[in-house]
Structure 1
Amino acid sequence: MDPLIWEAPFQNVFCLYFSGMGPVHMNEVQCTGFEKSITECAFNKEALGCSHEEDAAIRCNVPSMGFQESLRLSGGRNPYEGRVEVLVERNGSLVWGTVCSESWGTMEAMVVCRQLGLGFASNAFQVSADNVVMSGVRCSGTEMSLSHCLHHGAHLSCAKGGGRNAAGVSCSETAPDLVLNPQVVEQTTYMEDRPMFMLQCAHEEDCLSSTANQVPANSYRRLLRFSSQIHNNGQSDFRPKAGRHSWVWHDCHRHYHSMEVFTLYDLFSLNGTKVAEGHKASFCLEDSECDEGIEKRYECANFGDQGITVGCWDTYRHDIDCQWIDITDIKPGDYIFQIIINPNYEVPESDYTNNILKCRCRYDGHRVWMYSCHNGGSLSTETEQTFPGLLNNQVTHR
């Protein structure tokens, strides 16, 4: 099929035919080129007459800026992995040295792979090395070069001196990309009052607020319930980082947890204060449904392999344990509801900016409404500028 071309007000970006998956969300898109997000462009919300034969994608022309000349991988089994080495100036000479791996993680590895043109990070690890020349590296994940990340500069501070504590990465040409379906959250939200004696398993797995620890068994908890439909729109399957030998069996619910925390659910006041929270360990990662022509590969039954195939989605229904936020203690009012998938970046993905979903939430004491749900975190320009802390998926380990 001939490529489909979008007219663009800037050079070096053009679009071509792309094999589509799922519903069509935007039609007749018209951008000026100055928008922060494609969702800020004018578009027709009606997808009538727009099929996947007209799906758009882009190819970006990234200019060569020489970043890869000051970074290399060494000692790996192939060109896509190895010890990270950077070229720095020391005493008037350029020398190669290693990077201290303290706080080294997926975001830093992502920058290394991007800088070298090796795709996406698949693993961040420690290797045995010496001659540390860079320490304190902290990246947001969007930088074009490791030198653009925060670091200590010339004042090195690496507790173990580099030995057994230097940074390594492995890169991959493809990566998964998880995205939540906002419409499913809106359409399935409701409130339930559930007695404590029916919540014992959930209580054991820390799925209720802390005040549930002091209440009698004949009391109840008020739960904000909803379904989550998590699509893998990437180019490779999403698999738990831990192998099945290290999955944790939870006897009460009779299932294995393959990830410590897979999803976070939070409720914020309009001034950005967290008022209620929930969390969902991965009960099981499996293919609930797939796009036409794609076969399911992962099923949790009988201790099967866990994961989400490209073009498939995992649905956590509103009626299963922990698929809620405990709102027993909050007052009626307007709130911001937030979901974050893979919050601690435990599994590398090609894009983390779409791992967050935000909604407006209204609770009148008797009923609850969820509306204006969408991916990306931003609810409005005003919200971005006033409450920047709400708009990223940087979370601390729990």
Structure 2
Amino acid sequence: MNEVQCSGQERSLWSCRYKNITAEDCKHSEDSSVRCNVPYMGFEKTVRISGGRTRYEGRVEVLQTEANGTLRWGLVCGESWGTPEAMVICRQLGLGYANHGLQVRLSGGRSVYEGRVEVRVGQRWGSVCSEGWGTTEAMVLCRQLGLGFSLHAITETWYWDGSNTTEMVMSGVKCTGEEMALSQCQHHKNVQCQKAAARFSAGVICSETASDLVLNAPLVQQTSYIEDRPLHMLYCAAEEDCLSQSATKANWPYGHRRLLRFSSQIHNIGRADFRPKAGRHSWVWHACHGHYHSMDIFTHYDLMTSNGTKVAEGHKASFCLEDTECDEGVSKRYECANFGEQGITVGCWDLYRHDIDCQWIDITDVKPGNYILQVVINPNYEVAESDFTNNAMKCNCKYDGHRIWVHNCHIGDAFSEEAERKFEKYPGQLNNQIS
């Protein structure tokens, strides 16, 4: 959205006047932001509903900032509410339809949180072609219906009665994940659905809770170093495609590859466990390292120029998702040994040490210069999360052909102007030596 103009009477931002945005219109430095608060007796308060059976009901509590700066949740007196404590039951907005220009609903599921996706065209309801339907599109649909987050995007009909199929009225849905409704996503003007995909319709399972992964940026900065690793120690890595293309032309087993190595610690700070998209029946056994891969790609590692041109890359297939360590009072639930269940429990983290195969970027062919190290977890949105904005991490790098300095590692996909000004002035780190 660009040049948004509201009168103040609108109930939704979509009801304000605005222009459609293009890449040239606006930079991230111009992003709109807001801080909402409700003044109350000199304090700012944040409201929550607690103790209910769902997130739509419960005891009303407010977060109060006291004179000494501490925060405390407190109850709202229920005198005028007719109860000792203020209670509320909220209506689930949009359930069955939504007022964003295109009515949608879920049909045939076992509960209101799942089913076949149907949209209303004129006076009739129809289904959505399953072709291209994925987690991102399912996220938007769940958001539009007010049902929280996408737990699974379904492209088959075994979840509901296939005999009661409806006409295909929408196809080619492609969302970025930021939209508030399917009508704001790209889709075909006329229905185009390949014969194989036309047998199925798009479906979804929504959930009130979701995981939220975040990287430990300081750990990447603290553990970064260069290693010249002999080729005879990289056969497994080559088999798993963890080296750059020029490695195929090397004189194996002689010579070496230069690797930028670092540790990666991934925390789940959400409200649901992070689980692989597919069940263990589809996991692939890799004999070289002796483990199952539960996701095709779990992390992207990229080295880029300041203008975003990629000069080297790496990737982390999901060796195994497990609880390496947990916060105090939280028990581990997932481990990879003996074909165990994989995942990351809420309050736990998975640690990939710097000395594990493929925990690197092959920089053998990289010339000296200033670069940006970028790490992105769950890059293809294969598993739903409550927040994808904290899945990316960036660092400044300076490589002189012998050593590499990694600094200013932070969560997010952009650098501040201050960070850019300091790019050339960073004095370096003594521990970033060639081993």
What residue is the counterpart of 1:74 in the other structure? Answer: 107
Q: 1:344 aligns with which of 372, 380, 383?
A: 380
Instruction: Give how far 1:17 is off.
Output: 8.4
SS of aligned partner of 1:298: coil
Instruction: Give how far 1:102 is off.
Output: 1.6
Q: Distance in 1 between matches of 2:415 and 2:38?
A: 30
Does the 8 A contact of 1:201 with 1:252 survive in 2?
yes
Q: 1:334 aligns with which of 360, 367, 370?
A: 370
Q: Deviations over 1:96-134 (max 9, x none)?
A: 111122211111111111111111001111235341222
Q: 1:145 aligns with which of 175, 181, 187?
A: 181
TM-score, length-scaled by structure 1: 0.78
Instruction: Give how far 1:352 is off.
Output: 1.6
Does the 8 A contact of 1:130 with 1:163 survive in 2?
no
1:199-214 matches, within 5 Å, as 199-214=234-249
Q: Distance in 2 between matches of 1:282 and 1:307?
A: 10
Q: Distance in 1 between matches of 2:174 and 2:418?
A: 28
What residue is the counterpart of 1:171 in the other structure? Answer: 206
Q: Deviations over 1:11-67 (max 9, x none)?
A: 699525899xxxxxxxxxxxxxxxxxxxxxxxxxxxxx999x679xxxxxx998734
Moved over 4 A (4+): 7-14, 16-19, 62-65, 381-384
Correspondence 1:99 to 2:133: no
Q: Which amino acid aligns with 2:325?
A: E
Does the 8 A contact of 1:361 with 1:371 survive in 2?
yes
Does the 8 A contact of 1:176 with 1:237 survive in 2?
yes
Does the 8 A contact of 1:17 with 1:54 survive in 2?
no
Over 3 Å counting, the alpha-carbon distance change for 1:197 and 1:161 in structure 2 is closer
Q: Which amino acid aligns with 2:118?
A: E
Structure with higher Rg: it is 2
Q: Which amino acid aligns with 1:232?
A: N
What residue is the counterpart of 1:111 in the other structure? Answer: 140
Over 3 Å counting, the alpha-carbon distance change for 1:328 and 1:69 in structure 2 is closer
Correspondence 1:255 to 2:288: no
Does the 8 A contact of 1:277 with 1:326 survive in 2?
yes
Instruction: Give how far 1:137 is off.
Output: 1.0
**CA RMSD between the two structures:** 3.0
1:151-300 matches, within 5 Å, as 151-153=187-189, 155-160=190-195, 163-216=198-251, 217-300=253-336
Identical counterparts, % of pairs? 63
Over 3 Å counting, the alpha-carbon distance change for 1:170 and 1:17 in structure 2 is closer
Bigger drift between 123-132 and 135-144 goes to: 123-132
What residue is the counterpart of 1:389 in the other structure? Answer: none
Q: Distance in 2 between matches of 1:239 and 1:9?
A: 33
SS of aligned partner of 2:202: strand
Correspondence 1:304 to 2:335: no
Bigger drift between 190-199 and 156-165 goes to: 156-165
Q: Distance in 1 between matches of 2:280 and 2:319?
A: 13
Q: Distance in 1 between matches of 2:134 and 2:69?
A: 41
Bigger drift between 176-185 and 338-347 goes to: 338-347
SS of aligned partner of 2:218: helix
What residue is the counterpart of 2:46 in the other structure? Answer: 15
- The number of residue pairs the alignment matches comes to 338
Q: Distance in 2 between matches of 1:272 and 1:163?
A: 39
Does the 8 A contact of 2:102 with 2:183 survive in 1?
no
Q: Distance in 2 between matches of 1:204 and 1:263?
A: 18
SS of aligned partner of 1:223: strand
TM-score, length-scaled by structure 2: 0.72
Does the 8 A contact of 2:102 with 2:182 survive in 1?
no
Correspondence 1:372 to 2:408: yes
Q: Deviations over 1:314-343 (max 9, x none)?
A: 010001110000000000110011111111
